[in-house]
Copies of this chain bind each other. A is one copy, B any other.
Amino acid sequence: PPRPRPRLDAYVTGVRDGDRAMLARAITLIESRQRRDRAAAAKLLQRLLPHTGGAYRIGLTGSPGAGKSTTIDQLGTNLTARGHRVAVLAVDPTSQRTGGSILGDKTRMARLAADDQAFIRPSPSAGTLGGVTRTTRETMLLCEAAGFDVIIVETVGVGQSEVAVANMVDFFLVLLLPGAGDDLQGLKKGVLELADMIAVNKADGDNVDRARRTANDYRNALQILTPPSPNWRAPVITISGLQNIGLDALWHQIESYHDTMTKSGEWQEKRREQAVAWMHDLIEARLRQALTDDPAIAEKLKGLEARVRAGELVPSLAAEEIASALGLSALATGTAEGER
């Protein structure tokens, strides 16, 4: 029989005390889609909110094979050795992870998994990117309330997951392989412009020169692109996660970013903006939900979409039909003019 769910106070106390079992159960509660759990999760988060915000939130992306796990395992181990408490969250909307996946994540980051100052949590086993994003954001808050002061959110770069991760963290790191340009690296359009730093990984052995050339190419490209902030140009460095080369320099840059951004006030403002944008994302997701909740409207939408696609119907007329099916006011002043 399932264990009875702890009372709200037990969750709050357990998470605040850094009780790992309670933290894990709280995350499971956050991940639940049951109406009753969702209401409890919202209350829990609201109770814990004053104790959140204390971690450095770091996003990390890179194509498969770029060495993300090895790098996080080594970097995380370096950080716990210096007294940090490190949580690693993985965002991967495509994986069909189950209980076994936790083992998978713990295997690929073996040292960190055995480190009692670290906490590794894979993404939920299913769900849309929006759902995965919500649970990852909320898990981040729980980890902060539990006293973790470095949170690394890893993404494999599926769909729009890099954008989603970049929008929930303070610092976004892109990991590259020595070699050619973005398309050959499997990087998606625009990811480079999200980067607060680029690290060319596997700069060890025979690869060192190639990694330096790649870093130089990207450094030149970034000189032309608009920087993440007027006060920060994304550095391009070479590292070896496997050999623990350059990871101190990497962390130094991450700390330096924090100093620069807090001094300018951008750090705090970015967090406030992220929270508000998150609220709007959730509201828009709920509004879109209205389109699919009603099977008749979903069906109508599908038909209209096909006619628009075929060039038989003007998009504005199609939009009007959906609006009136939803009971929104018909063609009126200012309609279809709204833009956030």
Contacts and interface: CB of A to CB of B under 8 A. Distances in A.
Given A221-B224, A227-B183, A309 B189 contact: no
Shortest 10 CB-CB distances between A and B: which pairs? A130-B339, A282-B319, A131-B337, A279-B315, A181-B224, A221-B221, A287-B287, A289-B338, A128-B339, A278-B315
A285 B336 contact: yes
Contact of A224 (B182, B226, B337, B339): B182
Interface string A38-80: 1100100110010001000000000000000000000000000
Interface SS, A side: helix
Given A187-B226, A193-B190, A279-B304, A288 B340 contact: yes
A217 interface: yes
A128 to B, nearest CB: 4
Contacts of A338: 128, 130, 285-286, 288-289, 292
A102 interface: no
A278 B311 CA distance: 12
A11 interface: no
B42 A183 contact: no
Contact of A226 (B188, B283, B286): B188
A272 interface: yes
A35 B279 CA distance: 32
Interface stretch (A104-112, A238-246, A257-265, A326-334): A326-334
Nearest to A310: B272
Contacts of A275: 308-309, 311, 315
Contacts of A331: 35, 38-39, 42
A206 interface: no
A89 to B, nearest CB: 17
Contacts of A318: 279, 282
A127 interface: yes
Contacts of A45: 314, 316-317
A298 B136 CA distance: 29
A311 B272 CA distance: 7
Contacts of A336: 130-131, 134, 282, 285-286, 289
A189 B233 CA distance: 13
Interface of A: 33-35, 38-39, 42, 45-46, 49, 53, 127-131, 134, 138, 141, 181-183, 187-190, 192-193, 217-218, 220-221, 223-227, 230, 272, 275-276, 278-279, 282-293, 304-305, 308-320, 322-323, 326, 328-340
A293 B329 CA distance: 10
Nearest to A135: B337
Given A33-B333, A42-B314, A283 B131 contact: no
A260 B55 CA distance: 50
B183 A317 contact: no
A334 B35 CA distance: 9
A223 B34 CA distance: 48
Contact of A282 (B130, B224, B290, B315): B315
B314 A192 contact: no
Nearest to A34: B333
A1 to B, nearest CB: 22
